[in-house]
């Protein structure tokens, strides 16, 4: 047996060798803990069938039904009457029921064995079956003789128990069907916590029957009914995903004050409006705690998850400083600082939550030694803060480095490890307190149209970091698998790729968007908080998100691949003529693109702002072609020419219309190399 097996680590290191000639590498994401590739393939055709044995679990039955539906969709084959045929193509074996659907750290392992004649998936409980079925779907390939799964033995379990995705539905409401398709995406990459940031200054998104003015006055009418929440929780639960609610307090809570101004530290009337002045909750009033006790009681029932997130971030103390009654209270109770006042507030909250058997979760700021060790810290500040909490006895999850709204490339998120650097000093017990991490989709610039493209496929790189062994690090291999996964995710109904055309057509007012797409494919939204930084006056959360920056992907695949191609050409010492031809074809299309695009940009108020980018792309094309001409002739380019071109290329790096041109750098390299001599 051993001799015919090839371990995946060997396979990965050889990936450039084996790709074309022999077997393709397995397009699995997250990469399982242990994969042994066998010989041959299991054919997947219309005779495909599944049998379930062992512990009878309704969740498993449903999961297998969904799996068959997904396999049907993926292959175009109508699969009916697939259950319980003998002998089945796939045997699913479940050892036992789940101990509790919300227990963190439950066994999620599974074993998948595929031979040329059949496959077996076994797991201690339903969770492993869910994960194993997703792995099986990812293994299905289109081959020269039919659909198939390669013979393989997989032994898999997650590295971290908490693998989350936060979606901020407070700043922009996201409809239930959009959440559901994102839950399907989460299940596909083995994430297991959906963290809903349900309230923020711009909106309160859950129906409270006890305090209906929360959603009625604080949401623009855009909120989830309790029935919708229950349905969503069941939907996620069926897929092994917990839903943790977050109600951010005492800051980020303006939407609460529209209906209940008595909760605010600053007297006044409030409304959902970009111009409304901001304040925070008053933690000194009895009424605040009476309100929160009843509210949390209601929500604790609605959300069965044992974890309950109370936010706690970014409290601006000036509102407490400005309120004499609050100052008086602090003085009377010996509370010395605003941090201490927030700690007082958090202790009260923690007691309310305990009463409802909930574990309190909050952002870095809530960490104070006077809170019980049962609470969980979510760190947006970094691994140091997380390790520090672990040393003090607190559990924590990492979100620093996983903020999807910062528009980083997948590779950068992929490089962030909850255990990295600072965790090296931790002892084994302390290390166990680092539960995992969460990708965070903050909602300033998201809409139902573009949210999928902000979350996917980049979140899969984070999911792999949280699931797979720490040693899985090869960025090139990751991008190959990410690209394969990305197209599979669209089969789930996600629109991270298909959203672009309709958005571009809307901007252009025509379906003649070929040239616009050429530009869209080489630009990226500005990074970090640059877009928010450019806002003058109050941020208008109602401003339409229908500009080019809202449609293009956070990471330009064209840009990345063009850079790789130029590097390949340089590495070949200009001898790779096929690469050169491809580069020339691309540069020519860029050079000629502005002429085609210019009339379209002129006709649309949404697109006129990107005209300078289009001209710069044309310049990049022209410049790159000239540089290649010099290199072809082995003729040194004039220094003046180079200096002038480099000035232009550097100028083209400046953001325009909140967009960055991603293809200047490789062309600049070609220009520099055209000075002559061999490349370094």
Active site positions, annotated: 314
Q: Are strands 141-142 and 376-379 parallel, antiparallel or unpaired?
A: unpaired
Residues that bind its own copies (CB under 8 A): 46, 73-78, 80-81, 141-146, 220-222, 447, 449, 483-484, 486-487, 490-491, 497-498, 501-503, 505-511, 542, 544-546, 550, 602-606, 608
The minimum distance between CB 75 and its own copies, in angstroms, equals: 7
d(CA 185, CA 489): 6
Of 1 and 78, CB closest to its own copies:
78
Contact 309, 378 (CB under 8 A): yes
Contact 503, 495 (CB under 8 A): no
d(CA 253, CA 673): 56
3-class DSSP state of 390: helix
3-class DSSP state of 454: helix
Residue 521: its H or E element: none
d(CA 481, CA 467): 15
Contacts by 604-608 with C-beta closer than 8 Å and gap 24+?
604/507, 604/508, 604/509, 606/506, 606/507, 606/546, 606/547, 606/548, 607/507, 607/508, 607/516, 607/548
d(CA 404, CA 445): 11
- Among residues 4, 28, 3, 462, the alpha carbon closest in space to that of 12 is found at 28
Contact 90, 137 (CB under 8 A): no
Of 399 and 447, CB closest to its own copies:
447
What residues contact 334, with CB distance under 8 A and at least 6 apart?
none
Of 324 and 544, CB closest to its own copies:
544
Peptide bond into 469 cis (omega under 30): no
The minimum distance between CB 502 and its own copies, in angstroms, equals: 5
| CA–CA distances in Å: residue 235 to residues 54, 141, 298 | 24, 28, 21
Which residue is associated with the tokens 């600049």?
668
d(CA 518, CA 11): 35
3-class DSSP state of 4: helix
Of 97 and 480, CB closest to its own copies:
480
Residue 197: its H or E element: strand 193-200
Peptide bond into 87 cis (omega under 30): yes
d(CA 276, CA 540): 11
d(CA 24, CA 626): 38
CB neighbour burial string for 430-464, b if at least 16 within 10 angstroms, e if fewer: beebbbbbbbbbbbbbbbbbbbbbbbbbbbbbbbb
The minimum distance between CB 322 and its own copies, in angstroms, equals: 31
Of 485 and 619, CB closest to its own copies:
485
3-class DSSP state of 199: strand
Contact 468, 481 (CB under 8 A): no
d(CA 515, CA 394): 54
Contact 181, 151 (CB under 8 A): no
d(CA 193, CA 103): 12
d(CA 463, CA 591): 39
Of 81 and 429, CB closest to its own copies:
81
Of 163 and 496, CB closest to its own copies:
496
Ordered alpha helix ranges (H), 218-285 = 226-238, 254-259
What residues contact 402, with CB distance under 8 A and at least 6 apart?
413, 416, 437, 438, 439, 440, 462
Contact 70, 491 (CB under 8 A): yes
Q: Are strands 307-311 and 242-249 parallel, antiparallel or unpaired?
A: parallel
């Amino acid at each position: 047996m051993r001799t015919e097996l090839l371990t995946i680590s060997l396979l990965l290191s050889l990936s450039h060798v084996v790709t074309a000639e022999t077997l393709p590498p397995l397009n699995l994401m997250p990469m399982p803990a242990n994969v042994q590739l066998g010989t041959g393939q299991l054919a997947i055709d219309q005779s495909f069938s599944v049998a379930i044995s062992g512990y009878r679990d309704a969740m498993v039955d449903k999961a297998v039904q969904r799996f068959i539906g997904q396999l049907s969709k993926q292959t175009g084959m109508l699969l009916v009457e697939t259950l319980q045929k003998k002998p089945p193509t796939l045997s699913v074996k479940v050892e036992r029921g789940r101990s509790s659907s919300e227990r963190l750290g439950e066994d999620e392992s599974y074993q998948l064995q595929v031979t040329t004649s059949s496959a077996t998936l076994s797991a201690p409980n339903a969770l492993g079956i869910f994960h194993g079925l997703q792995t099986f779907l990812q293994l299905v390939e289109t081959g020269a003789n039919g659909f198939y799964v390669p013979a393989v033995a997989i032994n898999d379990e997650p590295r971290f128990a908490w693998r989350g995705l936060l979606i901020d539905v407070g700043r922009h409401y996201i409809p239930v069907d959009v959440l559901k398709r994102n839950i399907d995406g989460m299940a596909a990459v083995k994430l297991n916590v959906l963290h809903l940031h349900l309230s923020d200054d711009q909106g309160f998104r859950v129906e409270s029957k006890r305090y209906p003015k929360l959603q009625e006055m604080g949401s623009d009418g855009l909120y989830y009914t309790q029935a919708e929440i229950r349905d969503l929780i069941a939907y996620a639960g069926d897929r092994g995903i917990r839903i943790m609610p977050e109600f951010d307090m005492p800051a980020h809570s303006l939407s609460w004050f529209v209906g209940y101004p008595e909760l605010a530290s600053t007297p006044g009337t409030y409304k959902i409006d970009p111009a409304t002045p901001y304040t925070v909750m008053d933690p000194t009033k009895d009424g605040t705690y009476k309100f929160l006790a009843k509210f949390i009681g209601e929500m604790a029932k609605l959300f069965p998850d044992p974890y309950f997130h109370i936010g706690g971030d970014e409290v601006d103390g000036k509102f407490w400083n400005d309120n004499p009654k609050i100052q008086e209270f602090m003085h009377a109770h010996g509370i010395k600082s605003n941090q201490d006042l927030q700690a007082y507030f958090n202790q009260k909250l923690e007691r309310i939550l305990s009463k409802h058997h909930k574990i309190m979760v909050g952002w870095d700021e809530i960490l104070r030694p006077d809170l019980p060790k049962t609470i969980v810290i979510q760190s947006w500040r970094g691994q140091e803060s997380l390790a520090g909490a672990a040393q003090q006895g607190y559990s924590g999850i990492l979100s620093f480095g996983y903020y999807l709204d910062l528009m980083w490339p997948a590779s950068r998120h992929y490089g962030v490890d909850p255990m990295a650097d600072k965790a090296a000093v931790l002892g084994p017990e302390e290390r166990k307190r680092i539960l995992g991490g969460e990708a965070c989709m903050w909602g300033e610039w998201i809409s139902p149209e573009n949210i999928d493209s902000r979350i996917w496929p980049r979140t899969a790189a984070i999911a792999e970091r949280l699931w797979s062994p720490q040693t899985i690090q090869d960025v090139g291999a990751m991008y190959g698998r990410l690209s394969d996964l990305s197209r599979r995710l669209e089969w789930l109904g996600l629109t991270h790729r298909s959203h672009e055309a309709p958005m571009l057509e809307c901007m252009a007012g025509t379906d003649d968007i070929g040239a616009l797409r050429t530009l869209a494919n080489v630009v990226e939204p500005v990074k970090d908080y640059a877009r928010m930084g450019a806002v003058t006056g109050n941020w208008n959360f109602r401003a339409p998100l229908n500009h080019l920056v809202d449609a293009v992907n956070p990471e330009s695949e064209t840009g990345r691949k063009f850079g790789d191609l130029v590097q390949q050409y340089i590495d070949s010492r200009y001898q790779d003529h096929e690469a050169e031809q491809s580069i020339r074809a691309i540069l020519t299309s860029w050079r000629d693109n502005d002429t085609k695009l210019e009339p379209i940009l002129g006709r649309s108020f949404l697109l006129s702002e990107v005209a300078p980018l289009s001209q710069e792309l044309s310049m990049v094309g022209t410049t790159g072609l000239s540089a290649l001409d010099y290199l072809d002739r082995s003729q040194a380019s004039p220094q003046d020419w180079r200096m002038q071109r480099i000035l232009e290329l550097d100028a083209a790096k400046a953001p325009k219309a909140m967009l960055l041109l991603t293809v200047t750098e490789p062309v600049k390299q070609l220009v520099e190399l055209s000075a002559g001599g061999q490349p370094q």
